[in-house]
Amino acid sequence: MKILTNGKIVSEGKTLEGYDIITDGDKIIEIKTTADVSGEKTDLGGNYIAPGFIEIHCHGGGGYEFIDATPEAFKKACEVHAAHGTRVIYPTISATDYDTMVRVLQTAREVKNNCALEIPGVHLEGPYFALEMCGGQAPGIVRDIDRDEYTTLLEEYSDIIARWDYAPEKDKDNTFLKAVTDKGILVATAHSSAEYDDVLRAYEGGNRLVTHLYSCTSTITRHQGFRHLGIVESAYLLDDMYVEAIADGCHLPLDLLKMIIKLKGTDRVCLITDALRPGGIGKEGKEYTNCPVPFVIEDGVAKLLDRSAFAGSIATSDILLKTAVKSGCSIADAVKMMTETPAKVMGLKTKGKIAVGFDAQFTVFDENLDIVNIEM
């Protein structure tokens, strides 16, 4: 049994002081006022203690990407994000060929229990996207839905695939959506030109998440003068639709991030890094050319070499926290969008809250919102 004391508990949109957290093994068994708890305690130094940060969209960090499909890449990327407050991660791979997907999934199976972070499963971002919305995805790899391909992957690797993103306009009868959700895998809309009818059809079929809102997501278009809602407007219109927000301070200006949170609410927004290889170590001016989509680090973000669009971020979880607070969020609300809400999206029933019966998995940070590593 362990007792954590002298910390500001941040959970469920609130901050509490004067309480101790009592754990037994990997579970929280009691939360009591400090005066009512005796025994040897771990002093949190007056810092904030939150549920472990959950990263549902991250490609890599520390010079490695999960698509490298090596144990070293998985372990090194996880180490970097662990140092910045992440406790649970869904390794993300961009659109790629079948063989690479298989290698990544096999590697994830091998190393998931031997990394610095908990890995519930892999996030496949593609490859069934709209070519005109490929953004930082490799245009030569983005392709139409291949039934034989996805059926084989689902048969062999549904145990390690946690989420699969696609463009719903390419799945007019929801065949792909049904096949994936029938395996208990989360499906999300991404890199898509979908209009409201496509989004609604997919939503009614179980697609309840929009990947990185405002990045490669369609907006209002006109056909012979008549306006049609895109993904952005559909996400606001459908109350139970969750959205991701890349809160690196670059992909979404602070006022836009503030608007997303105001309109969707902290119950429906998940803050993500969408970090690439330079996550946590990004160096201004450095080019990364030995990858499917070359990019450069400039202005604190990864840009395509022609500067036409962003390729991804270099953020870590602590940056998300600081950006959300800078946009006007309370610390408690920012933490909720990095813990409770993503846990709900991903079906993690014992994570995302500091409450009895939940996992004893924590992130500690100080008044400056910097991560504090305390042996617990």
Q: pLDDT exceeding 70 applies to what percent of the chain?
A: 100
289 confidence band (pLDDT: 50, 70, 90): confident
Residue where the block lists tokens 């400039």: 298
| pLDDT of amino acid 172 | 97
11 confidence band (pLDDT: 50, 70, 90): very high
Domains and CATH numbers, the chain: 1-51+352-376 (2.30.40.10), 53-350 (3.20.20.140)
| pLDDT of amino acid 335 | 98
d(CA 313, CA 190): 17
- pLDDT tops 90 at residue 258: yes
Q: Which H or E run contains 55?
A: strand 53-58
Look up residue 12 and give its two tokens.
């469920």
- pLDDT tops 90 at residue 283: no
75 confidence band (pLDDT: 50, 70, 90): very high
Mind listing the pLDDT tens digit for each residue in 14-26?
A: 999 999 999 999 9
Short-list 248, 212, 246, CA closest to 232: 212
Mind listing the pLDDT tens digit for each residue in 122-157?
A: 999 999 999 999 888 888 899 999 999 999 999 999
| pLDDT of amino acid 213 | 98
Which has the higher per-residue pLDDT, 310 or 101?
A: 101
Burial of 47 (0-12, 13-18, 19+ CB in 10 A): middle
| pLDDT of amino acid 171 | 98
Mind listing the pLDDT tens digit for each residue in 326-369?
A: 999 999 999 999 999 999 999 999 999 999 999 999 999 999 99
| pLDDT of amino acid 309 | 85
* 72-76, 301-305, 345-349: least confident range: 301-305
According to DSSP, the β-strands at 242-246 and 226-228 are: unpaired
**Average pLDDT of span 248-256:** 97
Mind listing the pLDDT tens digit for each residue in 99-111?
A: 999 999 999 999 9
Dihedral sign, Cα of residue 127, residue 129, residue 132, residue 134:
negative
Give CA angle at 83 (320, 22), nearest 5°.
90
According to DSSP, the β-strands at 242-246 and 269-272 are: parallel
Residues contacting residue 15 through CB under 8 Å, at least 6 positions apart: 8, 9, 48, 331, 332
290 confidence band (pLDDT: 50, 70, 90): confident
